[in-house]
Amino acid sequence: MTDFTLLEDAPLIARNTFRVPARAALLADVRSARGLAELFAFPRLRNTPVLVLGEGSNVLFAGDWPGLVLSLAMVDLRIVEDSGDAARVRAEAGVNWNDLVGWTLAHGLCGLENLALIPGTVGAAPIQNIGAYGVEVREFIEAVEAFDRLTGRIERLDNAACAFGYRDSIFKREPERWIVTAVELRLPRQRPLRMDYAGVREELAAMGVDMPRARAAHVAEAIARIRTRKLPNPALIGNAGSFFKNPVVPADVAGRLQAEHPALPAWPAGADGSHKLSAAWLIESCGWKGHREGDAGVAEQHALVLVNHGRATGAQILALARRIAQSVYDRYGIVLEAEPRILGPAPIHPPTETPVA
């Protein structure tokens, strides 16, 4: 018995949270890391483009996928080392991310509370270096296990080898080589809580939590409430969460824009003095929040979220995203980049990428 199933001409509408129609030439559900080596031994797959798909919460299909869509169904989750003050947790790629957050909190571990309710699987987390409310997953990743298509073996990459960046990693830059199979996280039992991100302390207060007595589980609950209130539920309306990255610009550019637009939120982004700007503010100020073109639209709750009101195609959502990005560029000279992976004919950014002076 093989550790995978393989299907030809497979529908993908139920495998992406935008709920846009698309098909894959081949679809494989793999039940073990061993199954990857077995799968890629097929001569037919030697030169076939491969897309690893978790819950489809960070992709937009602007067309059909001409190659193999690979879904990892491994869901082992356990503590592999416990020193008392901290523990090393190993989670396989198919584990639901929010389930992992809840599991670690139930085991007295903290660190992931600010990442509560992020959609997707564990396997996607290091690829995108997911982050929210002042925390990125790279802070806790000790190592990532990944199948190397060049060697046909499972490799263990330590944190440095993962080359993490803002919503970036070696796995994102080399998708044709690496397939994440498991993640090892080093999580403490005690650490200072990060509650200074906008709205977190206010939500805790609304929950009746006394700040000195706040615990990691309280923070996770507060953030889950905020996300539920601010972001549309993909189960109810198709979306992939935040569609655009917050742009990072030099300090002088941020200063000039804030002088011209005092309400524009910006915060330090690196040791080089660069600043991160609020993409949501830029988009909303251009009048896009709540906008709708047929069944493609922008969420009423949050300007960063593009939505499928029912029968929008990926191409229609992509066309709307391009118009939004062009309007921001025309008004502010800022290039917006898409956060989800766009599987289609062209990138999201405006036709010109002249650096902002």
Alpha helices in the chain (DSSP H): 33-39, 97-106, 124-128, 170-173, 200-206, 216-230, 251-260, 279-285, 314-332
Give the CA dihedral 343, 349, 354, 357, nearest 10 degrees.
-130
Contact 316, 293 (CB under 8 A): yes
Set 57, 71, 169, 242: catalytic member: 242
CA distance 307 to 231: 11
Cα within 13 Å of Cα(55), Cβ side: 21
**How open is the CA angle 154-159-160, to the nearest 5 degrees?**
105
CA distance 52 to 70: 5
Cβ-Cβ contacts under 8 Å for 17 (sequence gap 6 or more): 55, 56, 57, 119, 234, 238, 239, 240
167-172: which pairs have CB atoms within 8 A and are 24 or more residues apart? Answer: 167/128, 167/129, 167/130, 167/131, 167/245, 167/339, 168/128, 168/129, 169/126, 169/127, 169/128, 169/129, 169/138, 171/126, 171/127, 171/144, 171/146, 172/127, 172/128, 172/129
221 flagged as catalytic:
no
Set 167, 186, 322, 341: catalytic member: 167
167 flagged as catalytic:
yes
**How open is the CA angle 333-339-344, to the nearest 5 degrees?**
95
242 flagged as catalytic:
yes
Cβ-Cβ contacts under 8 Å for 208 (sequence gap 6 or more): none
Residue numbers annotated as active site: 167, 242, 339
